[in-house]
Amino acid sequence: MQRYFATKDHKENVILFEDDIFHIQKVMRMKNGDKFEINVDGIIHLAQITSINPLKFEIIETLDSNNELDGYIRLLYCLPKGEKTDLVIQKAVELGVKEVVLINSTRSIAKITNENKDKKLQRFNKIIKEASEQSKRNDLMKLIDVISFKDIKNYDSDISLIAYESTKEASTNLFEYLNDIKGKTVNVIVGAEGGITKEELEIAKSLNYKEISLGKRILRSETACFYILSLLSFFMEK
């Protein structure tokens, strides 16, 4: 069943966004009597359409539904080139990530500047909303800033990990951290195409980030995100 995020007006009436109304009327082609789910501040309601044009609906039931992970995953992602950021954001939502922080790292080819940041964040948050509805999240993933690498110090966590392709750590060491993440806040840094510089690694290690290996093969930037986020999601839910 289709799910939409909604808000409330000053009279506590549930209000759908214009693009969701268009989706109901023109894309889903719903009709009177059809039902859909509405997410209001993390609470899921079942609604039934009473008029399609103009769209009117009534709340008929509050659902006991919680699809969030037992913990808080924060992905700190060094900006890649092209549209890989869009894909990583979408999949991060589906995998239960609570927050993404984008980093203009040394080896990031595509930088986000003050001039284009607002436009980029607006598009990223549209992707987040649509992916959250599709994957039936209770909460919208947060993406509110683009930072320099040194500013990772502003994001506290219980466990902090950095994927580093040149690490001497065995990939089995990762599982020592994974077994203790339930209910915790976990930060994980993934580099851009060129990886993490030694200087950036030292900054992270000074903030108690632990080097992790994602196996013997060199993964693409976006693949590394999917790999580690899948593991974190699995261990938070198991």
pLDDT at 188 exceeding the cut of 60: yes
Encode pLDDT of 37-65 as tens digits: 999 989 999 999 999 999 999 999 999 98
Encode pLDDT of 141-156 as tens digits: 999 999 999 999 999 9
d(C-alpha 149, C-alpha 105), whole Å: 6
pLDDT of residue 171: 56
Q: Which residue has the higher pLDDT, 198 or 172?
A: 198
Encode pLDDT of 12-38 as tens digits: 889 999 999 999 999 999 999 999 999
Percent of the chain surpassing pLDDT 90: 79
pLDDT of residue 217: 85
What SS3 class is residue 56? strand
pLDDT of residue 128: 97
pLDDT of residue 169: 66
Helix/strand/coil percentages in the chain, nearest 5: 35, 25, 40
pLDDT at 209 exceeding the cut of 80: yes
pLDDT of residue 56: 94
Query: How many CA atoms lie within 13 Å of 238's alpha carbon, on the beta-carbon side?
Result: 10
Mean pLDDT rounded to a whole number for the chain = 93
Write the DSSP assignment of 133-153 as a string of letters.
Answer: HHTT-SSPPB---EEEGGGGG
pLDDT tier, 172 (very low <50, low <70, confident <90, very high otherwise): low
The model's pTM: 0.90
Encode pLDDT of 65-119 as tens digits: 899 999 999 999 999 988 899 999 999 999 999 999 999 999 898 889 888 999 9
pLDDT at 173 exceeding the cut of 70: yes
Q: Burial of 126 by CB count in 10 Å (0-12 exposed, 13-18 middle, 19+ buried)?
A: exposed
pLDDT at 170 exceeding the cut of 80: no
